[in-house]
Amino acid sequence: INPQKSSDLPVSSSSTSLPMFRNKTFSVRRRFSDFLGLYEKMSVKSSLHGCVIPPPPEKSVMGMTKVKVGKDDPSSAEFLERRRAALERYLQRVVCHPLLLQDPDVREFLEKEELPRAVNTQALSGAGFLKMINKASDAVNKMTIKMNESDTWFEDKLQEVESEEQQLRKLHAVVDSLVNHRKELCGNTAVFAKSMAMLGNSEDNTALSRALSQLAEVEDKMEQLHQEQAASDFFIFAELLADYIRLLGAVRGCFDQRMRAWQRWQEAQSTLQKKREAEAKLLWANKPDKLQQAKEEITEWEAKVTQYERDFDRIGVTVRKEVLRFEEEKAKDFKGQIVKYLESMLQSQQRLIKFWEAFLPEAKAIA
Amino acid sequence: MMGYLSVSLQPRAVNVDLQTDATLQVDISDALSERDKVKFTVHTKSTLPNFKQSEFSVVRQHEEFIWLHDSFVENEDYAGYIIPPAPPRPDFDASREKLQKLGEGEGSMTKEEFTKMKQELEAEYLAIFKKTVAMHEVFLCRVAAHPVLRKDLNFHVFLEYNQDLSVRGKNKKEKLEDFFKNVVKSADGVLVAGVKDVDDFFEHEKTFLLEYHNRVKDASAKSDRMIRSHKSTHTTALLRILLHHYAYYCTTTAPLRILLFFLKVSELFEKTRKIEARVAADEDLKLADLLKYYLRESQAAKDLLYRRGRALVDYENANKALDKARAKNRDVLQAETSQQLCCHKFEKISESAKQELIDFKTRRVAAFRKNLVELAELELKHAKGNLQLLQSCLSVLKGDT
């Protein structure tokens, strides 16, 4: 599976090559809101309940307005690249999920020429994904009926997930400060390079003057390297951490869904109980026509109770499977990104070596 | 936290290219850092008859170095020489503050983190200490290498007299006087610099030095800033990230291979971090210190030119006074004597100044060459070290999966 995409404001396109699709490679144009819409559709499907559905990237109002205004500065280019990469990762996660890949809405998203404009994306684009999850979570917790878990796996896992989310937040802050430090180093190196060039100009020994100018050039190249390293830090690490903070939110969402399924089952049971009590009363009161209705309602609710119990069990199974799958994916993801980061460091060092090897003879030539 | 620190030293500082001469060899063989002062052990080896012994040591503090330097500057006989710049005052304030802050924050970090940070800060303190010793040593070596200054009586007293020289630091009044002296001098300097010189060599030198000095000042400040941010950017942060994540994984039921993965990567980062710290330290030594030193030397050269300019102005004024006296036929003898003195002084300074400035150029070029070559070689060494570490780690990591 090779999803790729290129981003164009505010429209984006993607192309995939997959055996089950009609064509081998194809591309379509999608808006940012379409991605949000896809998530909306998937998150309400009961068939996908319990699944960890990858959350789409955050909508950043400020960044987007800058781009729309047509500002041609590096920060808006950075913003576009950031969004493009984020949307790409989002789609990759979606198609990596065996169930989601089968989903008709996903297929439609990837294949269909024109999509109707997505509605109901307010909650997502406004408050953001995590706020949405947390609100739902609070609602679940407020419900008065508490579950008695026979199997502590779910409680323990949820605990783990929550503490890992905290960890990742802390780490994200650290990476952010690293990125800023590196940018500062960039600036200082550029300034230093210029002052070295000036010094070289005023030096009256020819060979030394040339060497100093060369040194200034090396420092300029170092600044480039630092710049790229900062981008690397950011795109590889910071974004990885940010993605997983949101993904862990999605995992928490699954646990909440299971809770809600349980609650629905419990409520159905209590409703059934009430219906039975009502029937008993009617038997006493001897109202045969109402009795018939009551019996029908009881049958209906018995079926519902059975259904909801089955739903609950099914979700439980799904959540367990999903969490395991998620953890494997996460380990793979982290490993992959770290290897990528090490490779970029390696390339950096190779270029550094080239710069200094070119400079050394100039320094030796000073006389 | 740092009560005192004693350090045994390595051979000489690198910023000057000096010929060692058996007749007089000076070095700082030992140094002690106490609460608020540093005590240098100045060790001398000499075949000169002026000294009572052929080898001896005394203990000196920073103020005594300054006294010696100032005595050279104030000596009229040395007006025609570049006076070796005085070493900067030992400054451990920043380092001490950091160590203190660390001590205060001890409760808020793990024992491992604390030990690591403490080691880092102690190494920093040691580096600053070594530098200040080197700079004091270079000053003495420059004096010892100078054909005229090495014979100075104050210098011999400095080297040999094994009691305290009792040169207390300047008090407030003296410091204020100094301040005014400097203001007057710089105003005068501007005046004197404005006088066009008949001699092309000196005219060129004046223009050159003025521009060069300013640019070295700029480059020195900017190199300091760059190196400071280099020091705070290294991958310690990333290392901690990985250690945290890895520690987290330890508490869950993560498979062993994942634990090993993180362990290998955090080991790698520990090693690359050390290399990166050394890169910043080397850049500091070879580049920043070089620029700082030549900032001070070029100032000393400017001072020489100023003194010569001053003597020229005095000479020209004496000429004018003589002409006036001859015209009025009054105090002619006095004017003649005065004019002769000024002439003699000016010519003496010019003669030695020319050689001094040529020597300065030679020294400067040699020092830059040495340091730039060493800088490049060190950068290459470290980059290759990093490269090797990364290559071997990556091959292990990729091979495992």
Kindly list the domain boundaries of chain B, sorted by start residue.
1-167
Residue B13 above 50 pLDDT? no
Instruction: Report the candidate in B64, B49, B50 with the shortest Cα–Cα distance to residue B140.
Output: B64
Residue B3 above 60 pLDDT? no
* Residue A93, token pair as written in the block: 């996660």
**CATH no. for residue A178?**
1.20.1270.60
Contacts with A237 from chain B: Cβ below 8 Å = 238, 241
Cα dist from A327 to A244, A338, B255, whole Å:
11, 16, 11
Q: What is the mean predicted confidence (pLDDT) over A89-110? A: 80
Beta A11-17 vs A25-31: how paired, if at all? antiparallel
pLDDT on residue A28: 67
Which domain does A97 fall in, by range?
A: 1-133
Last residue of a domain, one of A105, A133, A161: A133
pLDDT on residue A10: 41
Q: Are A217 and A289 contained in the same domain?
A: yes
Q: Is A195 exposed, middle or buried (0-12, 13-18, 19+ CB in 10 A)?
A: buried
Instruction: Report the candidate in A342, A332, A149, A171 with the shortest Cα–Cα distance to residue A241.
Output: A171
Question: How far does the CA of residue A157 sit from the closest CA of chain B (Å)?
Answer: 10
Q: Is B70 exposed, middle or buried (0-12, 13-18, 19+ CB in 10 A)?
A: middle
Q: Are A340 and A192 contained in the same domain?
A: yes
* Residue A161 domain-assigned (yes or no): no
Question: Under an 8 A CB cutoff, do A181 and B229 touch?
Answer: yes
| Interface pTM, i.e. ipTM | 0.83
Last residue of a domain, one of A133, A163, A184: A133
> Are the C-beta atoms of B359 and A198 separated by less than 8 Å?
no
Cα dist from B189 to B195, B284, B304, B356, whole Å:
10, 33, 11, 20
Picking from B215, B237, B383, the nearest residue to A356 by CB comes out as B383
Q: Are A178 and A115 contained in the same domain?
A: no
Question: Under an 8 A CB cutoff, do B233 and A182 touch?
Answer: yes
Among A177-191, B80-94, B132-146, B228-242, the range scoring the smallest mean pLDDT is B228-242
Contacts with A209 from chain B: Cβ below 8 Å = none
Q: What is the mean predicted confidence (pLDDT) over A264-277? A: 89
Q: Are A196 and A253 contained in the same domain?
A: yes
State the helix-helix crossing angle for B256-283 and B236-251, rounded to 10 degrees: 160
Among A119-133, A161-175, A293-307, B159-173, the range scoring the smallest mean pLDDT is A119-133
**CATH no. for residue A112?**
3.30.1520.10
Cα dist from A259 to A17, A159, A308, whole Å:
38, 15, 12
pLDDT on residue B169: 63
Number of domains present in the structure of chain A: 2
Q: Are A360 and A262 contained in the same domain?
A: yes
* Residue A73, token pair as written in the block: 């500065």
Count other C-beta atoms under 10 Å from residue A87's C-beta.
20
Instruction: Report the candidate in B185, B133, B159, B172 with the shortest Cα–Cα distance to residue B310.
Output: B185
**pLDDT over 70 percentage in chain A:** 80
Instruction: Report the candidate in A246, A243, A257, A265 with the shortest Cα–Cα distance to residue A44.
Output: A257
Measure the CA–CA gap between A31 and A213, rounded to whole angstroms: 49
Q: Are A217 and A359 contained in the same domain?
A: yes
For residue range B177-196, list pLDDT tens digits in order: 777 777 777 777 776 666 66
Residue B25 above 80 pLDDT? yes
pTM: 0.80
* Residue A87 domain-assigned (yes or no): yes
Q: Are A123 and A197 contained in the same domain?
A: no
Residue type, A192: F
Q: H/E element holding A304?
A: helix A288-364
Question: Under an 8 A CB cutoff, do A195 and B245 touch?
Answer: no
Q: H/E element holding B68?
A: helix B62-74
pLDDT on residue A31: 72
Residue type, A74: P
Strand partners, B26: B44
Main-chain phi, psi angles of A149, to 5 degrees: -85, 125
Question: Under an 8 A CB cutoff, do B387 and A349 touch?
Answer: yes
Q: What is the mean predicted confidence (pLDDT) over A274-296? A: 83
Q: What angle do CA A310, A314, A318 make, to 5 degrees?
A: 170
* Residue A160 domain-assigned (yes or no): no
Residue B213 above 70 pLDDT? yes
pLDDT on residue A3: 39
Contacts with B394 from chain A: Cβ below 8 Å = 339, 342-343, 346
Chain-centre distance of CA A87, in angstroms?
A: 9
> Are the C-beta atoms of A317 and A150 separated by less than 8 Å?
no
Indicate the class that CATH gives domain B1-167.
Answer: alpha beta
Last residue of a domain, one of A83, A109, A133: A133
Q: Are A185 and A319 contained in the same domain?
A: yes
> Are the C-beta atoms of B224 and B327 separated by less than 8 Å?
no
Q: What is the mean predicted confidence (pLDDT) over B86-98? A: 86
Q: What is the mean predicted confidence (pLDDT) over A285-313? A: 87
Indicate the pLDDT class of residue A335, thresholds 50, 70 and 90: confident
* Residue A156 domain-assigned (yes or no): no
pLDDT on residue B9: 47
Measure the CA–CA gap between B23 and B145, rounded to whole angstroms: 10
Question: Under an 8 A CB cutoff, do A338 and B379 touch?
Answer: no
Residues with Cβ within 8 Å of B352's Cβ and at least 6 positions away in sequence, in order, are B80, B81
State the helix-helix crossing angle for A153-202 and A239-285, rounded to 10 degrees: 160
Contacts with A349 from chain B: Cβ below 8 Å = 383-384, 386-387, 390
